[in-house]
Each structure stands twice: as C-alpha cells, then as structure tokens.
Structure 1
Amino acid sequence: MQFESGIDFARKLDDIDPLARFQQEFSIPTRPDGSREIYLCGNSLGLQPKRARDYITQELDKWASLGVKGHFDCDFPWMPYHEFLSESSAALVGAQTDEVVVMNSLTVNLHLMMVTFYRPTRKRYKIVIEDHAFPSDHYAVESQLRHHGVDPQDGLLLLKPREGEELLRIEDIAALIEREGDSIALMLLPGVQYYTGQLLPMAELTQLARGKGICVGFDLAHAVGNIPLQLHDWNVDFACWCSYKYLNSGPGSVAGCFVHRRHAQDTQLPRFAGWWGHDKQTRFRMENRFQAIPTAEGWQLSNPPILSLAAIRASLDIFTEAGGMAPLRDKSEKLTAYLQFLLKAEVGEFISIITPEDPEQRGCQLSLCCDARHLSGRALFQRLEENGVTCDWREPNVIRVAPVPLYNRFEDVYRFVEILKTACNE
C-alpha cells in the first residue's frame, strides 16, 4: 500500500477499516481534561474490554445468590469454567483443544513445563535462551539449572546478536544448534522478543532443534493475540503465555499453556501434580493415587480464579467476533507499516527503529531508539506522556510503541507521530 502524509489519509484508512468498530468495545483511558489518551501500550497491558465488567459482575452475582452451588448447575458453572476458554484459546495459538489450558501465571507455567521437559543427563544438560531474555525467564532458567545441580556458567547458552547489531540472526542460531546440539536439552525462546520486537521463525527453529533431539518451548507473552501461530503443526513441545498484554484480560490475569498432544496424552510423564490435574471422573473420590488427565489439563494444580477467567472470556469473545487472527494480522501489518512510514518521514533524523522492517519478522510493536546526540530518550518518553501518549520505556534507550489492531486506529498513529515530532523538535 502506498501511504500518504496528512490526517485526511489516516481518516480515510479508518473509514475503510472493517475492524474499526471494535475500538468501541474497549475503555480508553482519559486525561484530566477529559480528552482521550493515545494508548499504544497493548504490548505491556491491554485495554479493558467493556464487557469484562459485565462478565465479572455475573460471577459476583452468582456467588452472592448461589454460594457454593455456583460450581455446578448454572450458566457457566465454576467447576469446568476453564474449559469454556479452551476452544478460543486453541484457535489463537493454532492448537487442538486438548492441547491448551488456562492456568497459573506465565513464569509458574514455565517452571511446570521445565519440570517435565527439562530432564538433564550427564551429556545433554544445557538450555538455550536469548541473551536479552525477559528477566523472569532468565531467572526461571537459571534456577532450574541450579535445581538440577548444573552451574549456569556451563549450562546456559546465550544467543547474542552480532557486534553492533540488535537482532538475532537465524543462521547464528542454526550454527549454535549444529555445534552444541548434542549437549542441549532444551531451547526456550520468545515468539516475539520483548525488547526489539523481533518475531522469530518458530517453525524453522523448532525443526532445526528437534532434528538434534532438543526439546523446544516458547514464551509467547508478546506473540499470542499479536501474530498467527500454529503450535501443533510446528511440532512445538510446549509454550506458555500471559493474557494481560494483547489478550486484554487485566493486570496479573491467568496465563495459558500449550502441551503438544504427543506429550499431553502421556500420563506417565514426570510433573508437579495437583488436584485439578487429576482425572475428572474420580477427582472427588478423594483418593491419594494421582491419575493425570490425558490432556494439557493434566498439568493443572489448583482450581483457577473465576473472576480472572471471566475477564479472559470477555476478551476471547471479542477475538472470535473479529474473525480471529487472520483479519487482525492483516490490519496489524498495515497499521504498523503506516507507523513506520510516518516515523521515517517525520522524525527519521532523531529516531531509529530497531525492530525488523520486514513485516514477516515482527508483530505490531516497533522499538524506537533515540539518537543520544540530539536528545535523551527518557526525557522524550516523559514528554510523550505529558502530551497524552501512553507507550512504554525499556532501559537502556528504547521506547516501545504498539498499535493494536483491535482498538487502535490509523488516526491514533498519525497523532502520535505528530506529538513525537513536536517533542523531538523542542
């Protein structure tokens, strides 16, 4: 698409956008003067779906009127409530319904998966992650190594960009897999790297790693709800994600987990077991002989927080109504490309984009690096906030901007760049 400057062009794109109506489904923060913020921070916390309040209120009313009976004979009973999210969650990640479960938090799920899928031996004991992994992932991996008596200095393989570069090169990852493959037990990488916004070729990396006998897991915190996924067909072993970013389910909301069917049906796999992962037919016999459910549900520990699941259900219903990831991805590519076009045209002398230019190598996030000769990135970020823009800052020098296709419009992008240009020139 040939983009043009000027607000009239942005409004024209909004007029023909088939997803524009979904902005009305979300509560957009306002400034003290009552004007609406330009919210470009869905990569950190998605906006509240208006219907989430209604869905949560329904559960509060059920609790008030039914008490414990709310677990059983009523609309959306609590006992199987997580199952109401399985079909739509599976659709978002390209999985079979029995391969996904909504449970716990992201890092808890990563630990639970590593209990099962990181089984070090004397010869095969190393874990591969990226050098600038999200800190929680790095902490989790190091603690798993130490738990198994492996020194992280020996057992942790860090994928690093080349000198002077920001992005990982696939040929370098392939070279490490080829060189170290016989000693690697697990490769745990992001779907979308949180700092740079780089989308990794998950299918290709999975094939390379599994060809060397390496177990493959992905942290999809910045990928789920952002890009199309096909976890089952890619033959990924496991994946975990949070739901409060692009899935718009509220701060600290319950996370999700994928376990490929070939593993999920193996009830003898080692795991940390809990009551909610036990066979549903015999759970209430209260016997102390654990029998795992032969699906991803077999990794559950406890009954989930229903109010949080209600918020997730509200958001997933909107994804379903929008037609799933295909139309959202189509708009996302246009929206992000339009942002890139305006940034280069209006503030190219001040800002560089470290996210890949190729749409197939990124989601909706662009990571902007400030030219320190001209201005302080932190000061620029604060100026944006003062002028009604919500994005986010990541040390040492990156402003992350994420135009989300469900609730951001092309005019939002245009106005953001105008504010950014003014701030840069000041």
Structure 2
Amino acid sequence: MEFQNTREFARQLDANDKLAKYRDEFIFPHVNGKQVIYFTGNSLGLQPKRTKAYVDEVMDDWGKLAVEGHFYADKPWWDYHERFAAPLSKIVGALPSEVTVMNTLTVNLHLMMVTFYQPTQKRFKIICEEKAFPSDQYMIKSQVKFHGYDPEDAIVEIKRRPGEHNIRHEDVINTIKEVGDELALVLMGGVNYYTGQVFDIKAITKAGQDAGAYVGWDLAHGAGNIHLELHEWDVDFAAWCSYKYMNSGPGNASGAFVHERHHNDMDLPRFAGWWGHNKERRFLMEPQFDPIRGANGWQVSCLPVLSLAPYLASVEMFDEVGMPALIQKRDLITSYLEYVLHEIDKEVNGNFEVITPSEPKERASQISVYLHGEGRSLFDYLMENGVITDWREPNVIRLAPVPLYCSFEDMYEFGQILKAGIQSHK
C-alpha cells in the first residue's frame, strides 16, 4: 500500500478498519478537554468499558452471598480461573490445560524457575538477552545466587554488536551452541521492552533444547501482541502480565504456560500450595500434595477473583476479535506510524532514528525512536498536548499503536503535534 501523510488518507484507513468499532469499547483520558492519543498500551492498556460490569458482578455476589459465592455465584469463585482456559489458550497458542492465571509476572517466573532451573556442577548457566527488563535481571541473578553460583559465571548475556540497536538472531543461536553442555536454561523476553524487537521464539527454543537445556519466555510484551504457538513451538514454560496489551488493569494477575509434556512428571520440583492440589479432593485438607495435572498444578494460593474479573472481560474481548485480525491491523497501523515519522523527519530536517526493526515479523505494536538532537522537553510538549507516550533514557520515546483502540487518524495527528513540538523548540 502506498501511504499518504494526510488526514483524509488516515480517515479512509479508519473507514476500512474492521476493528474500528472496538475503539468505542475503551475509556480514554482527556488533556485540556480533548481525548488523548494513547501510545502507552505497552505499559498499561486502557480500561475497557465492559470491565466495570465484570467487577460489579463479583462485588454484588460478595454482598449477597458472602462465602457462599465460592460455589453459588453465577460465576463461582472456586473455578473462576477455568473460564480463562479456552480464550487464553487461543491468544498464546496453547492447549487449554497448558495455561493458567495466578500471581503476578515476576512471581510466576520465579515459580517456573523453581521447576526449570535445576543447575548441576556442569550444567548451570542461563542465557538471557542484554538489556532485558530490570525485573528479569534481578530475578535471574537472585535465583543464581540462591543456588550458590556467581552471576558473573552463571549468566550469559547475548549482546548487541557495536553500533547496532538490535540483537542478531544468529548471535543468539551461536551463543547457545557455544555454551553447549554448560547450559541449563534459556530465559528471554519474547519482545524486548526497549527496542520492540521480536525474537524468533520457535528457532531459539529448538536451539536451546537441542543443547539439552530448558527454554522459557517472558511474554510481558508478547501476549496479546504477537503471534504465538507455544505448544507447537515446544516451549517449556512462559509467563506474561495481563495489564499491557490485554488491558486488565494496573499490576493485575499474570498468566502462565507449562507444556503438557511436563504435566505428569511428578519428579519435577515445584513450590506447592493448596490451590494447585487435586481439585476434586482440595477440601478434604489432605496432608500430601497431589498436583492437578496441568498448568493449574503450579498454582499456589487462592485466586484473587476481583483482580481476575477485569482480565476475564479482556480475554473474552480478544476471543471476539481473534489474534489474526489484531495482527493484521497491528502490522498496518505500525507501518503507517513509521511512515508518518519519516515524513515528519523530512519536513523538519530532523534526525530521527527508528531503533525497532523494520521487518514486520521482527516487531509488533511498538516503534522506539531515538530523537537525536531533541531533549526531554519535546516529550513534555507531547504529553502537554495530549500525546501519552513513554520516555526512556537517554533519548528514546516508545510509541505503541495498539490495534484495539488506536486509530490511523491518531497516527496522522501525532505527526502534526510532533512537528509543532520540534518547530517550537528550534
């Protein structure tokens, strides 16, 4: 498609957008009385309007039924999480038995590492990517130290080549081969939070397992954003937060995946809790832990139903839309945003550098832009003029054109505000 940087062209794209109606399903903040252009769905998604009804239902049941809500609510609380299995499995490409909801992201990754990081004297190293999200770095270092290893020896970071913003796929594969029989675990982010680079999960998983290691993924920026086939790609485990692209609310519950081949392996260590115990015998209060055969067997505590309610509202919306339709719009609107950025760069004689890969298969709903020659004042101008975006040091703005609620006219209008901001600072 040949793009045009005009309002009329953007409106035509919106007129042809089959997902345009979902924009009205969300609540937008306002700045100076005007609805914002929202680019931070990669940090916190907007609130779906339908969410309130799901939360109110739980609150009403709590008021009317109190403890009896566990079994007699319209959506009984004791099996509330089971309603996620079918829609969530479609989002991440899994069997329904392979997914669960529980805790928060880093907690779930810690629990997964209890099972899948079992270092030996020879095989103890973990491969991760350079500049992973800090929480992952803290988690991996603490796990390594817990097992008595020095992070300097046990953690292998795959680095970017000098002068490059993204990690080369061949460098990931070669590093796995080089570490070889010392490798215990590969644990990476499926989408790098800073650059928006999407990694080849299928190929990296195979390479890690060929080396004799387990392979897991932090899908904080992947779930609800990229095409995933976790079951078919043979991923050992994964976890993700729900509050970014899946719009479940600040700090809300996490999702987790455990491949079915691990479900019946009772020799795998895990931290046990009663909500992971055999569902049919849970209330017998037995002293011996008998895990559920499935991802639910990794659950620990009673589930926070009030937190799950907004998440359920969101995954049911995803089920209506379907990931193929989301990805189709994602690729088009992200490409249009990149085009607008380059056009504005020409008009203002600027020096923008898009550090997100240009290949659609290597990026998703994010464009990270290095604003050479511009400072924090430009970001402040954008925010003051109704563009809610994200600043990362030293001089990068991250723009996430989420397909469920961002419009093509938003992309055009952002370009005009960006141009005005640059011109006002010259």
**Under a length normalisation based on structure 2, what TM-score does the superposition of the two structures give?**
0.98
2:11 touches 2:409 (CA, 8 Å); kept in 1?
Answer: yes
2:394 partner letter: P
Structure 1 Cα separation of the partners of residues 75 and 421 of structure 2: 50
**Are positions 1:410 and 2:411 aligned together?**
no
2:93 touches 2:229 (CA, 8 Å); kept in 1?
Answer: yes
In structure 2, runs of 5+ residues without a counterpart are none
Deviations 1:336-374 (A, max 9, x none): 0000011111125231100000011000100010113xx
1:107 touches 1:140 (CA, 8 Å); kept in 2?
Answer: yes
1:403 partner letter: P
Deviations 1:50-80 (A, max 9, x none): 0101110011000000001100023110000
2:127 touches 2:176 (CA, 8 Å); kept in 1?
Answer: no
Match of 2:329 in 1: 331
Paired residue for 1:344, among 342, 345, 357?
342
SS at match of 1:168: coil
Match of 1:155 in 2: 154
SS at match of 1:79: helix
2:65 touches 2:73 (CA, 8 Å); kept in 1?
Answer: no
Match of 2:11 in 1: 11
Q: Give me the identity figure in percent.
A: 51
1:350 touches 1:424 (CA, 8 Å); kept in 2?
Answer: no
1:351 touches 1:368 (CA, 8 Å); kept in 2?
Answer: yes
Match of 2:102 in 1: 103
Deviations 1:215-251 (A, max 9, x none): 1000000011111100000000000000000000000
1:421 partner letter: K
Give runs of aligned pairs for residues 226-305 of structure 1, distance below 5 A.
Answer: 226-305=225-304
**Under a length normalisation based on structure 1, what TM-score does the superposition of the two structures give?**
0.98
1:398 partner letter: V
**Are positions 1:379 and 2:377 aligned together?**
yes
Structure 2 Cα separation of the partners of residues 339 and 371 of structure 1: 18
1:267 touches 1:293 (CA, 8 Å); kept in 2?
Answer: no
Give runs of aligned pairs for residues 141-180 of structure 1, distance below 5 A.
Answer: 141-180=140-179
2:361 partner letter: E
Structure 2 Cα separation of the partners of residues 313 and 165 of structure 1: 40
Match of 2:370 in 1: 369
2:372 touches 2:395 (CA, 8 Å); kept in 1?
Answer: no
Match of 1:187 in 2: 186
2:185 partner letter: L
1:26 touches 1:48 (CA, 8 Å); kept in 2?
Answer: yes
Match of 1:210 in 2: 209
Deviations 1:291-335 (A, max 9, x none): 11110001101111111111001111111111x110000000000
1:352 partner letter: E
In structure 1, runs of 5+ residues without a counterpart are none
Structure 2 Cα separation of the partners of residues 403 and 220 of structure 1: 18
**Are positions 1:359 and 2:357 aligned together?**
no
Give runs of aligned pairs for residues 17-166 of structure 1, distance below 5 A.
Answer: 17-31=17-31, 33-166=32-165
1:42 touches 1:246 (CA, 8 Å); kept in 2?
Answer: yes
Deviations 1:260-296 (A, max 9, x none): 0001232331100001000011111111100111100
What RMSD over aligned residues (CA atoms) do the two structures have, in Å? 0.8
Paired residue for 1:420, among 407, 418, 421?
418
1:267 touches 1:291 (CA, 8 Å); kept in 2?
Answer: no
4+ long deviations beyond 6 Å: none
2:355 touches 2:368 (CA, 8 Å); kept in 1?
Answer: yes
Deviations 1:69-98 (A, max 9, x none): 100023110000011111111110000000
Structure 2 Cα separation of the partners of residues 80 and 10 of structure 1: 45
Structure 2 Cα separation of the partners of residues 134 and 21 of structure 1: 34
Deviations 1:148-196 (A, max 9, x none): 0000010010111001111000111111111112111000011100000
Structure 1 Cα separation of the partners of residues 46 and 28 of structure 2: 7
Structure 1 Cα separation of the partners of residues 227 and 378 of structure 2: 33
CA shift for structure 1 position 379:
1.7
CA shift for structure 1 position 35:
1.1
Structure 1 Cα separation of the partners of residues 268 and 290 of structure 2: 11
2:363 partner letter: R
SS at match of 1:327: helix
Structure 1 Cα separation of the partners of residues 300 and 54 of structure 2: 25
Structure 2 Cα separation of the partners of residues 6 and 284 of structure 1: 63
1:273 touches 1:300 (CA, 8 Å); kept in 2?
Answer: yes
Match of 1:392 in 2: 390
2:146 partner letter: H
CA shift for structure 1 position 422:
1.2
SS at match of 2:247: coil
SS at match of 1:102: strand
CA shift for structure 1 position 34:
2.0
2:193 partner letter: Y
Structure 2 Cα separation of the partners of residues 317 and 177 of structure 1: 38
Deviates more, 1:378-387 or 1:226-235: 378-387
How many residue pairs get aligned? The number is: 421
SS at match of 2:144: helix
Deviates more, 1:179-188 or 1:329-338: 179-188
